[in-house]
Structure 1
Amino acid sequence: MPEMRFVIAWPDGREETCYSPSLIIRDFFAEGEAYPIRDFLDRSRKALTIASDRVEAKYGYPCSLARNQLARLEAAGALFLDDADARVRCQNFIL
């Protein structure tokens, strides 16, 4: 199963390299695009759940790395939920 990383920039300018066990991330995000925080978290939740489910279908257990990545994104994103203008930019994909 091809894994990938994707680099994001939080609303405060901090960059983070994120992990996905599947290329599904490319179906939910585009390089250079910025997403409102709630939309970003929703897309992340959907994409990383699908990615984890794909691992489970292939290996018989969900991907703990994908679940942990989602938990980190949700925790970091929670800091910006009160800011209606907060956007997260998908900087690039690393295959």
Structure 2
Amino acid sequence: MPEMIFHVRWPDGQESDCYSPSLVIREHFTPGQDYPVRDFLEKADTALTDASERVRARYGFACSRALGQLQAIRQVGAPFLTRPDALVRVLSFKF
């Protein structure tokens, strides 16, 4: 199963490499695109849950690394939810 990293910039300028065990991220995000924080978190939830379920379908167990990445994304994004103008930029995909 191909895995990928999606590189993002948070509203405070910090950057993160985020892991996905599946290329499904490409169905939810576009490199160079800005997303309001709430939208980014919702899309990340859907994408990483889908990715984990693809692992479950193939190997019989969920991907704990994808679910851990989702938890990390939620933690980093939570403080920005009160700022309606805050954006997350998806910078790139690495395969």
TM-score range relative to shorter protein: over 0.9
| Structure 1 residue 52: Cα displacement | 0.1
Q: Does 1:60 align with 2:60?
A: yes
Residue identity (%): 53
- State how 1:10-29 maps to structure 2 within 5 Å: 10-29=10-29
Unaligned residue ranges in structure 2 (runs of 5+): none
| Structure 1 residue 29: Cα displacement | 0.3
- 1:39 aligns to what? 39
What is the TM-score normalised by the length of structure 2?
A: 0.99
* Runs of 4+ that moved beyond 2 A: none
SS of equivalent to 1:30? coil
Cα distance in 1 for residues equivalent to 2:61 and 2:11 = 34
Q: Does 1:85 align with 2:88?
A: no
SS of equivalent to 1:82? coil
1:12-35 CA-to-partner distances (Å, cap 9, x unmatched) read 010000000000000000000000
- Give the paired residue count: 95
SS of equivalent to 2:62? coil
| Structure 1 residue 80: Cα displacement | 0.3
Amino acid at match of 1:74: R
1:36-92 CA-to-partner distances (Å, cap 9, x unmatched) read 000000000000000000000000000000000000000110010000001000000
Cα distance in 1 for residues equivalent to 2:21 and 2:30 = 17
